[in-house]
Amino acid sequence: MRTIGIVLAVLCAFAVTSASARDDWIMFPIQDALNTVDAKDKLNQGVLFYFGSQRTPKVLQSFGEYQSNKKTNAFNKSDKEACEWAFLSAMLSFQQRALQMGGNAVINIKSYYKKHLVDSPTEYECGAGTFVAGVTFKGTVAKVAK
């Protein structure tokens, strides 16, 4: 009986370890994340976002490149839902930085999850695990012509 208990404990430990080790790298549409109710409500302070090679208005001033690395609780959420939350957190961080520095845009935004650079005007990369999802972006804070 004691041996069965030990075997079950070991099996449970392996199950928990393998479940928590999930780290899938998934691409999601940027537009879907920008179209969520929360994004539409919170990303409304006059800061524009340009991803990858998207064409931008004339850059009047550059304030430097910055990184935004955000994680969110993924428990009991779909990968897409959790990644959209992390995406919004990263964009809010960029928005705050741009406003503090006198910028009105973040340009050349690229996914940089675990230092894997993805330059796309339509998709972003997200790391989705059992309990945590995260995104990392690099982008340049700028003032652009309106």
Q: Per residue in 66-92, pLDDT tens?
A: 999 999 999 999 999 999 999 999 999
Domains of the chain by residue range: 23-144
**Residue the block writes with tokens 């199950």:** 15
| 44, β-bridge pairs | none
pLDDT band (50, 70, 90) for residue 1: low
Q: Read off the pLDDT of residues 93-120 as tens digits, 9 standing for 90 and up.
A: 999 999 999 999 999 999 999 999 999 9
Residue whose entry in the numeric block shows the structure tokens 């957190």 = 89
Angle at 110 between CA 122 and CA 117, to 5 degrees: 110
Mean pLDDT of the chain: 90
Q: Say if residues 20 and 74 touch (Cβ distance below 8 Å).
A: no
CATH 3.30.110.70 fits 23-144, yes or no: yes
* Mean pLDDT value across residues 41-46: 93
Q: Judge contact between 60 and 118, C-beta under 8 A.
A: no
Q: Are 120 and 51 in contact (CB under 8 A)?
A: yes
Q: Is 10's pLDDT higher than 50?
A: no
